[in-house]
Amino acid sequence: MSASEEEKRFCPEILEILKFTNSDHFEDISTLDTAVNWCTKNSFAIPDMDVLKEIANHTGNKLLVDIYAGSGYWGAILKKMNLRVLAFDLRPHAVCHMPVSGIRSDELLRSMNLDECVLFYGFPNFVTPEEEISKGGYFPELSIWKGRKIISIVDHTDSPFKRDGKYLPVTGDVLKAANELTGFKWEMVCSIKLKYKFYKVEEPRMEVYIRH
């Protein structure tokens, strides 16, 4: 599978990873090392233009707040596409693709009024993996934020990591967390598979949720 001309322009970093994607062998060390190194620098998921354009369509002229930005990779691409983006992460990477402010997500939303923004989860990881969602352990910012739209890049398949003898999913369940923690009812209005993925068993998707 080859990258489109738009992908080469907006996210050229994917060119170095595409030949390693869609692998049958998770235990293949060279493929695993390549994927881990790419993820460390960029993102757990590989962008494609269909997904990026859909994010832009659902964001419109609103501010997109990348809440667990990591290196700010997705946000940097979306800025190239003329979206307004702010990026935050409790532990920003040492080298980022755009400015990423280091702050805990709930502290961020207490200090800034971002209720009119679109919340974006490029990597909705577990904030406190030891806690269950019913205890508010996941996504503490959702107990504070009163916005109306969330966009997430999610993958609920099993990761290689275990807790209590069970494999953790690759990402947290943002839709479930929103329904548990915000006090509003949320509905998924868009779900698109990502064109590229590291392993065949993975199912990365872009999802959009709105509240009632």
**Residue-wise pLDDT tens digits, 44-94:** 999 999 999 999 999 999 999 999 999 999 999 999 999 999 999 988 999
SS (H, E, C) the chain: CCCCHHHHHHCHHHHHCHHHCCECCCCCHHHHHHHHHHHHHCCCCCCCHHHHHHHHHHHCCCEEEECCCCCCHHHHHHHHCCCEEEEEECCCCCCCCCCCEECCHHHHHHHCCCCCCEEEECCCCCCCCCCCHHHCCCCHHHHCCCCCEEEEEECCCEEEEEECCEEEECCCCHHHHHHHHCCCCEEEEEEEECCCCCECCCCCEEEEEEEC
pLDDT cut 90: percent of the chain above it: 61
Q: Is this model's pTM higher than 0.85 or not?
A: yes
User: Pairing state of beta strands 101-102 and 84-89?
Assistant: parallel
Q: Domain residue spans in the chain?
A: 47-195+204-211
Written as one letter, the residue type at 109 is: L
Question: CB-based burial of residue 122 (10 Å sphere; 0-12 exposed, 13-18 middle, 19+ buried)?
Answer: buried
User: Architecture of domain 47-195+204-211 in CATH?
Assistant: 3-Layer(aba) Sandwich (3.40)
| Per-residue confidence (pLDDT) for residue 135, from 0 to 100 | 44
Could you tell me which residues are beta bridge partners of residue 191? 207
The amino acid sitting at 3 is A
Determine the distance from the C-alpha atom of residue 76 to the mean position of all C-alpha atoms in its chain, rounded to a whole number. 13
Tell me the per-residue pLDDT of 9-57, one tens digit each, with 9 for 90 and over.
Answer: 999 999 999 988 887 765 566 677 888 889 999 999 999 999 999 999 9
